[in-house]
Amino acid sequence: MCTYPTVSSILAQLRLEHILQAPVITVITYYTVHSHWVHPGVDCYIAACEEVKEMLVTEGILSQRITRDRNPN
């Protein structure tokens, strides 16, 4: 589980190359999406809000791979 884009991208690339067998989950705690967060090797995204989820979908991430943190705290 990653909360930092550089680490997420590195692990996602290792996942695509079949070097890493564990799923890669990226937690985006910001209220916007930077291109460094988006990588085809990420298995699941956790978005801080609905707007971030929508931005990820706009970037080409399937909505089935995105969940929202519904905890308001």
The residues spanned by each domain of the chain are 5-68
Q: How far apart are CA 42 and CA 70, in angstroms?
A: 21
Does residue 13 register a pLDDT over 90?
A: yes
Does residue 72 register a pLDDT over 70?
A: no
The whole-number pLDDT of residue 69 equals: 63
Q: How far apart are CA 9 and CA 59, in angstroms?
A: 15
Does residue 47 register a pLDDT over 70?
A: yes
Q: What is the pLDDT of residues 21-46, one digit of tens each?
A: 999 999 998 888 988 889 999 999 99
